Chains A and B, each alone.
Chain A
Amino acid sequence: MKVSQIAPLIDADTVVAGDGKKEVSSVYAGDFLSRVMGKAPADCIWLTVMANVNVAGVAVLAEIPAIVLCEGVKPDEMLVQKCLSENIALFTTQKSVYECCKLL
């Protein structure tokens, strides 16, 4: 699946489009940043309810091209800016982490 194909599957709003052509190969769900860095594979879609700027920092370092903020969580402005500057896709959805896992 490509990054550009994620949003419709989970009724998500696209906050930052990122690299739409980038292939994603798996999904990881989690909120503790070190857990994500320890366990999430590169090129995954990351489902979380954390919305601070460090989320983008982790995505950069762990080679995660797409972040989905679930359960209606809104990103803080610095997170949006960092996703823009690093070309990381950022989506928001009302759906739960579990629902997104099912749908993706």
Chain B
Amino acid sequence: MSESLKLSYTVDGGDFVSAGKASEGVKRTLKSIGIDPAVIRRIAIAMYEGEINMVIHASGGTAEIEILEDKITIVLQDKGPGIEDIEKAMQEGFTTATAAIRELGFGAGMGLPNMKRYSDELKVESTVGVGTTVYLSFNV
């Protein structure tokens, strides 16, 4: 691959039915270009967590994916309420999701921890009242 391949998605907020469309699209693309299935699984799950976070907390956002020769990067950006304490949000089980969200099976407080678990690099930038940007990188 001499040039990078870029994908771009808009994630709708509050829509739990179509949530995951972007991650599934990325998964299909990576499969079609022959990326290692184990790597695809890590990417798909990490990105889904990010997508769900934007649906739950931020009334949606955008996902930009870049596929390079040696790595795949994902930037998830939203204009949501921001994260007050990123360190706390990184702890397994910490959640600010409502009971209604938890009844759907989301809001277990595993979103960012799973993104960290499955990515090779995770960076979270957030400003309360402005929004959050999550950078994920995967070595391939």
Q: Which residues of A line the B interface, CB within 8 A?
A: 31-35, 37-38, 42, 50, 52-55, 57-58, 60-63, 78
**A–B Cβ pairs within 8 angstroms, 17 of them:** A32-B110, A33-B106, A34-B114, A37-B48, A37-B110, A38-B113, A38-B117, A52-B104, A52-B105, A53-B17, A54-B16, A54-B20, A57-B19, A57-B48, A61-B24, A61-B44, A78-B17
Give the dominant DSSP class at B's interface: helix
- Tell whether, in the assembled complex, residue B23 and residue A32 are in contact, meaning their CB atoms are under 8 Å apart: no
New contact pairs (7) apart from A34-B52, A53-B16, A57-B48, CB-CB < 8 Å? A32-B105, A34-B49, A34-B106, A37-B49, A38-B110, A52-B16, A54-B105
Distance in Å: Cβ of A34 to nearest Cβ of chain B:
3
Asked if B140 is an interface residue, CB under 8 A from chain A, the answer is no
* Interface 0/1 of B15-41, CB less than 8 Å to A: 011011001100100000000010001
Q: Using Cβ atoms and an 8 Å threshold, which residues of chain B touch A58?
A: 20, 48
Distance in Å: Cβ of B81 to nearest Cβ of chain A:
20
Chain A residue, CB-CB nearest to B102: A32
Q: How far is the CA of A34 from the CA of B110 in the complex (A)?
A: 6
Q: Which residues of B line the A interface, CB within 8 A?
A: 16-17, 19-20, 23-24, 27, 37, 41, 44-45, 48-49, 52, 102, 104-106, 108-111, 113-114, 117
Given the contacts A32-B108, A52-B105, A57-B19, A37 and B114 also touching, CB distance less than 8 Å: yes
Chain A residue, CB-CB nearest to B53: A34
- Tell whether, in the assembled complex, residue B106 and residue A63 are in contact, meaning their CB atoms are under 8 Å apart: no
Given the contacts A34-B49, A38-B113, A54-B16, A61 and B23 also touching, CB distance less than 8 Å: yes
Given the contacts A54-B16, A54-B20, A61 and B105 also touching, CB distance less than 8 Å: no
Chain A residue, CB-CB nearest to B48: A61
Q: B27's contact among A35, A52, A61, by CB below 8 Å, is which?
A: A61
Q: Which 10 A-B pairs have the closest CB atoms?
A: A34-B110, A32-B108, A57-B20, A61-B44, A33-B105, A34-B108, A50-B105, A38-B114, A37-B45, A61-B48
- Tell whether, in the assembled complex, residue A60 and residue B105 are in contact, meaning their CB atoms are under 8 Å apart: no
- Tell whether, in the assembled complex, residue B19 and residue A54 are in contact, meaning their CB atoms are under 8 Å apart: yes
Q: Most chain-A CB neighbours within 10 Å: which of B20, B41, B49, B105?
A: B105
